[in-house]
Amino acid sequence: MNNADLLFIAGDFSEREIPKEVQFLYKYFKTPTQKMFLKYWYSAGTINGFQTQTGYRCDDVYKRKMLKLMKTILAKHKEAKDKMDIELVWKIENGEYKF
């Protein structure tokens, strides 16, 4: 077990921020549960154990919906960047694109 594992078990992941390049996701994930979901995902890389580790009540269906939304946003963002569609990238990063 390494230091990152110990910090995760201790719950320090909740204090960490998600990577800067994807912080625009906070514009789509606004509630405390949704924000914690993002932090948990970027710390653990899974949705398993979310409720146990964070204490946030969240049904499996809702976790899967949040995961699907996050992946959809990131895929659309990557596609827009690959196509050099600066206007669409700007809309997505400013939370103005509707998914």
Mean local confidence (pLDDT), 62-67: 97
Whether the Cβ atoms of residue 25 and residue 38 lie closer than 8 Å to each other? yes
On whether residue 17 sits in a domain, the answer given is yes
On whether residue 99 sits in a domain, the answer given is no
On whether residue 75 sits in a domain, the answer given is yes
On whether residue 98 sits in a domain, the answer given is no
pLDDT at 36: 93
On whether residue 26 sits in a domain, the answer given is yes
Q: Structure pTM?
A: 0.85
pLDDT band at 8 (very low <50, low <70, confident <90, very high): low
In the block, which residue shows the tokens 């946030």?
56
Range of the domain at 76: 3-93
**What's the pLDDT tens digit per position in 14-53?**
778 899 999 999 999 999 999 999 999 998 889 998 888 8
- CA–CA dist 95, 14 (Å, integer): 23
DSSP collapsed to 3 states, 14-26: HHCCCCHHHHHHH
pLDDT band at 55 (very low <50, low <70, confident <90, very high): confident
Whether the predicted pLDDT of 99 surpasses 90:
no
Degrees to nearest 5, angle at CA 18 with 16 and 94 = 135
Number of domains in the chain: 1
In the block, which residue shows the tokens 């996701």?
25
On whether residue 40 sits in a domain, the answer given is yes
Mean local confidence (pLDDT), 57-71: 96
